[in-house]
Amino acid sequence: MESTHPFAEAWGRFKKNRTAFFATIFLGVLYFICLLAPFFSPYNSQTQHLDAAYHKPVGVHVFDAEGVHWPFVYKYELIDKARQIYTPIVGKRYPLRFFGKGDAYKLLGLIPMTRHFVTVDAPGRLHFLGTDLIGRDVLSRLLVGSQVSLSIGFLGILISFPLALLIGGISAYVGGKVDASIMRFLDVLMAIPGLYLVLTIRYVFPQKLSSIQIYLIITMIFSLIDWAGMSRVIRGIGLSEKERAHVYAARCLGQSPGLIIWRHIIPATFAYCIVAATLSIPGYILGEATLSYLNLGIQEPDASWGLMLAQAQSIRVFTQFWWILSPGVAIFIVVLAFNYVGEGLRDALDPKMKVVRS
């Protein structure tokens, strides 16, 4: 019988799970768009269209009284200044232009460009998801904000997993007093309710910092919390793995403890790590959104999904201008996709492990 690598088998099982597979592709597309966010957004995320505050989402039309056209939009007119109500001026059509020139930006932060995926000629406006209080395009901010929300989880697990593997591995292998003191420390960390711990650590740093600094701080705070629970599980796996024959054999052959942890104990935790990592990414996305919503995260004028939701803190604003809530939908979709991928990975990597996550 031909033997296959366990990961190849798992990949075969994963591909058969259609929802998980499509969720992966969907996330791939999202990450691609996120990487080139300024190109895909119709405007610069910080450009203020002060004459178009709370502009409602524009409709894209194909038909009008004269028949079928290339997709176009109408220009909108402010008819009620007190309540910010806009209506389309039916008549003059503004056709969508692909790869047209618009606001200047730097692609990937390096290459200066002015072309956008889709634009319209002025004075037409292309606000697919409307604008906010100071007339910034919501879709553009959503796309640029996705660079925070979509990357924070990956950066977070890049910090928390190596740490959990290291600490959990050492704790399991060395045992004794080292193990006990590490575990007591984790007990203390885990006995403080999550959000309280986050806030306490967040307040060690000044509230106003540059967005990039805050981004790094938030990532580290959430990794720290993520790390505690994972170390425990990895220690558990390590403890049972340590007693197995191949580890004894390695020890008899005189391999160093470090090498044994690296070669024999850590690989046994891979299945758990991959699944737990995928399923912990939504936690980072939600965490960033929560902190930014509380104004402890990413700062204006930069964009993040939580910060955009913070504009919805006034009930009068978001009941009237519902499109302000669109970052909430974005968070939901991304979290859902990650959960599907995580579930799929779990079923694929360990068909026996059927216990459902709480």
Partner 1 sequence: MKTVILRRILLLLPMLLAISFLSFALMSKSPGNYLDTLKLNPQMSQAKIDKMTVEFGLDKKWYVRYGLWLRNAAKLNFGESFHYKQPVWDVITARAWNTFILSSVSLVLTWGIAIPLGVLAAINRGSLFDKVTSFLAFMSLSFPNLFLALLALFFAYITGWLPVGGMRSVDHELMTSGEQFFDILHHLVLPVFVLCFSGVAGLMRLMRGTFLENMRADYVTTARAKGMPEGQVMFKHVLRNAINPMVTLFGFSVAGLLSGAVIVENVLGFPGLGQLALEAFFAKDEFLVMASILMASFLLIMGNLLADILLVAVDPRIRYE
Among 111, 245, 253, 315, the residue binding partner 1 under the rule CB under 8 A is 315
Q: Is 191 in the site for partner 1 (CB under 8 A)?
A: yes
Within 243-353, residue ranges assigned H as helices are: 245-252, 257-260, 270-293, 305-310, 315-320, 326-349
Q: Copy the structure tokens of residue 92.
A: 């003059």
Q: Is 172 in the site for partner 1 (CB under 8 A)?
A: no
Q: Copy the structure tokens of residue 58.
A: 């524009």
- Kindly list the strands in the beta sheet with 61-64, ordered across the sheet, starting from the edge strand earlier in the chain: 61-64, 67-80, 85-95
Please name the amino acid found at residue 194.
G
- Nearest Cα neighbor of 313 from 323, 303, 304, 324 is 324
Q: Is 3 in the site for partner 1 (CB under 8 A)?
A: no
Which CB sits closer to partner 1, 230 or 261? 230
Among 100, 299, 318, 350, the residue binding partner 1 under the rule CB under 8 A is 318
Which CB sits closer to partner 1, 112 or 193? 193
Angstrom distance (rounded) from CA 85 to CA 79: 6
Q: Which helix (H) or strand (E) holds 195?
A: helix 194-202
Among 120, 142, 230, 309, the residue binding partner 1 under the rule CB under 8 A is 309
Q: Is 96 in the site for partner 1 (CB under 8 A)?
A: no
72 close to 162: Cβ distance less than 8 angstroms = no
Q: Is 352 in the site for partner 1 (CB under 8 A)?
A: no
Which CB sits closer to partner 1, 1 or 191? 191
Among 32, 51, 322, 351, the residue binding partner 1 under the rule CB under 8 A is 322
Q: Is 298 in the site for partner 1 (CB under 8 A)?
A: no
Count CB atoms within 10 A of the CB of residue 165.
22
Residues at the contact surface with partner 1, assessed by CB under 8 A: 187-188, 191-193, 195-196, 199-201, 203-206, 282, 286, 289-290, 293-294, 306, 309, 312, 315, 318-319, 322, 325, 328-329, 331-332, 335-336, 339-340, 354-358
